[in-house]
Amino acid sequence: MANKTGAWGIESVKFATLVSGPTVAGGKIGEKTLQAKSAFPTEWSAFVMKAIVKDSLSFNDNAPSTNNIEIEDSDNYYATLQSDAGTEGFTIQTYDMSEEAATFFFGYKKNSETGYVEEDVDFKLQNQAVQIVTKKTSEFPSRTFEWANMKLVVTKSGTIGKSGFPNINIECTKQAVFDAVTGKEMPSTRWK
């Protein structure tokens, strides 16, 4: 019987810096050719998310929108043009309020004189590569999903009280990746 094809539970969420530029591959002796590097990093260690909120990962893809052109001569559309490419991405939440999370998501830095972790007013969170690995069960194999270039919008929500923890919300939106040599768009999402 074939494996079931669903994905269940989160094993890990990891971030990595973006890959850029071509790699040089040798041809004949003394000859070099440029070949595009994969858009995906080989090391996923910029930040490893901890304390992921149960059932918080939700996909928020939006279909492309269209603009329907009408004319007086017909009751049907004259043309339908794609006006927006749509978006692909997901939102995930974490309870992790550690110094590492504050540093990665918000650019905070530890002040050695006061001991406080302080904001960096000039910090701007850069796009990141994101890897999600799902849990393996006896019925469902583990799946690895990777995005080569995601724009992150990070916010805090919730309350500090006895009913629960405040959390960090990370909204990830897929961005295009282009080959540095040819200028053509490269695949920027994969899974196995």
Split at pLDDT 50, 70, 90, the class of 83 is: confident
Instruction: Give the model confidence (pLDDT) of 51-76 as tens digits.
Output: 999 999 999 988 888 899 999 999 99
**Per-chain mean pLDDT for the chain:** 88
Backbone angles phi, psi at 103, to 5 degrees: -70, -45
Instruction: Give the model confidence (pLDDT) of 2-61 as tens digits.
Output: 567 888 899 999 999 998 654 444 444 444 444 446 889 999 999 999 999 999 999 998
Angle, CA of 150, 43 and 132, to the nearest 5° = 50
Q: Which two tokens stand for residue 17?
A: 């810096």
Angle, CA of 163, 47 and 173, to the nearest 5° = 80
Q: Which two tokens stand for residue 106?
A: 């918000």
Backbone angles phi, psi at 146, to 5 degrees: -135, 140
Tell me if the pTM is above 0.85. Answer: no
14 against 138, higher pLDDT = 14
